[in-house]
Every structure is written in structure tokens, then in C-alpha cells.
Amino acid sequence: MTATLGMNDLVAGKYRLVAMIGEGGLGQVWSARHELLGGDVALKFLKPTEASKADAVGRFLREARAASALRSDHVCKVFDVGTHQGMPFLVMEKLEGEDLGSLLDHCGTLQPSLIAEIVVQACHALSEAHALGIIHRDVKPENLFVLWRGDRPIV
């Protein structure tokens, strides 16, 4: 499978890719614009090398299903799933902010009260997930996204 993604690609007839905003070992995340509604979303694609593996596709779809079941203010919302050029993708809310790992890299030490607020919010999300039988197997600063409402963090 040699599918590639590029700026201005139209996905599922309605999501226009704007820019790649992240890439990991298993996938890519793109900023996209909904052509009909005009809103911005994030599309997470499973890489073609992984899309050919049934177990990877199954995990990806379970992740989407699990995330869409959570109602916490501290979990990124999942709106849709699909396949584009053989690559499964999910459509998520596009968040403006940065992951905690990057925040720590450029700010260094954070105030204890700020860290406490971030940890408590992350625990609220994990608690809801655990109540639904969902176990997050990769909790780390790079997987906690921090938005700001004034001087208050929202994880």
C-alpha cells in the first residue's frame, strides 16, 4: 500500500487537509477543514504500513470507539471514522495548545499548584475511562494536551 497524504487532499468528500500537525510511529495527525460546515477538525490516520495489519486496525478502531464513549471535558472528542486510500482515520476536535511534554521543555519547572491542577484533570479523565473498562496504556506528558483559558490550564 503506497497511499500518501498531502495538503488540500479531500478526505471522505468533506474534510480538506490543511497541514500535518503530528506524526508518530503508527500514524499521522492532520489539521483539516470541514468543507460543508466550515469548522476545523483534526484527522488521525493510521499509516499504510500499519493499515495492512488487522490487529493494528482493530486497535485503532477500538481507540476511536472508546474515545467517543467518553464525555469528560478532559478527553478529546471523536466525531467520525472512515477509510481514505486504504488508511483508517478518525475525526477529532482540533485543540489549540500544546502537549505537556513540550510545555515542560520550553518552560522548565512549573509551579506546584499548576502541576497539581493538571494532574487532577488528567485523573478525572482516566477515572471516567477506567469506569467504562478503558485502560490508557500510554500516559505520559506528550499524551496530555494543555489548553489555556486565561491563566487556567484545561487538560
Catalytic residues, by residue number, are: 138
- List Cα–Cα distances, 27 to 10, 56, 57, 142, in angstroms: 18, 11, 11, 15
Which grid cell sits at 136? 490508557
133 φ/ψ angles, rounded to the nearest 5 degrees = 80, 15
Neighbours of 123 (CB within 10 A): 13
Residue whose C-alpha is closest to residue 114's, from 71, 139, 76, 150: 150
Count the helix, strand and coil residues of the chain and give each as a percent rounded to the nearest 5.
35, 30, 35
Residues 6+ apart with CB under 8 A from 86: 1, 3, 48, 51
